[in-house]
Amino acid sequence: MDTILITGGLGRIGTALCQQLRGKYRTRSFDLRPTDEADENYVGNITDIPAVADACDGARAIVHLAGIPTNAAPFENLLDANIRGTYCVYEAARQAGVKKVVFASTNHVSGMWEQAGVKIPADAPVRPDSLYAVSKAAGEATARYFADEYGISSVCLRIGGFSPTDEPRGFRNLYMMITHRDMAQLVDKSIQSDVLFAIVNGISNHPKAYQELENAKRLIGYEPQDSGAEWVKSMDDDSKRRYDELSWRELDRDEMLHEWSRVRAK
């Protein structure tokens, strides 16, 4: 059974992946504290390259989740955990000879498109909605560099909403949440894929999604099993009305570039 190293294995997504992928892979968590959900635990900081490289021993792939997942943190903290930390994980992978990294990016990398009411493909021009999103965009660029320079295959997942309870929390999740089993499938397909580099959106199959899934389906074979259509049935009347009124502008590439270069999102 292949071993995968999950940085941030104690976090919300890391915990769910350890549970969902049990039996498919041997899960090894690298975090500041151990977790009961993983098969193995390494304790340390992702900015410690030798420690991460040691945890890579025998691993088929790294699923890099560790970092600060909020814009509330000072930029200096985001710089250390998200930008420097991601570089250190890739450098550890290079030193240890790990040739596959799945990088947890975020929908916020293109979040200003959402605020502008535009439905986006995974290859939309980067339009971050926060400094947290800026740090994740830097992570995607780091992944691209290590792919070109060292041949380390990377799939960057622009993850939508994720709920520890596996149930939608708030209206926004009705069009951009990813369930636990869809998240596990997305990661598994990314590990198994033969692409050198890809950026894919990470959501379940929502009828009114603002993130397109064509790249994820075409490049890595992702086919979400869950749909937000089931959640809509249990909404109150006001939420149903808002949902019915929800729509996204669809722009072609030239229109998108024109707006990106000339128009503020808000």
Write down the catalytic residue from 42, 90, 132, 222: 132
- Write the CATH number for 256: 3.40.50.720
Residues 201-217 have a mean pLDDT of 95
Please give the C-alpha separations between residue 143 and each of 140, 152, 240, in angstroms, as whole numbers.
5, 8, 40
Give the whole-number percent of the chain exceeding pLDDT 70.
100
How many helices and strands (H and E) does the chain possess?
Answer: 12, 7
Domain carrying residue 189: 3-262
Q: CA–CA separation, 192 vs 209, rounded Å?
A: 26
Is 132 among the residues known to form the active site?
yes
Encode pLDDT of 145-189 as tens digits: 999 999 999 999 999 999 999 988 888 888 999 999 999 999 999
Could you give the number of structural domains in the chain?
Answer: 1
Residue 211 in tokens = 């993130």
* pLDDT for residue 108: 96
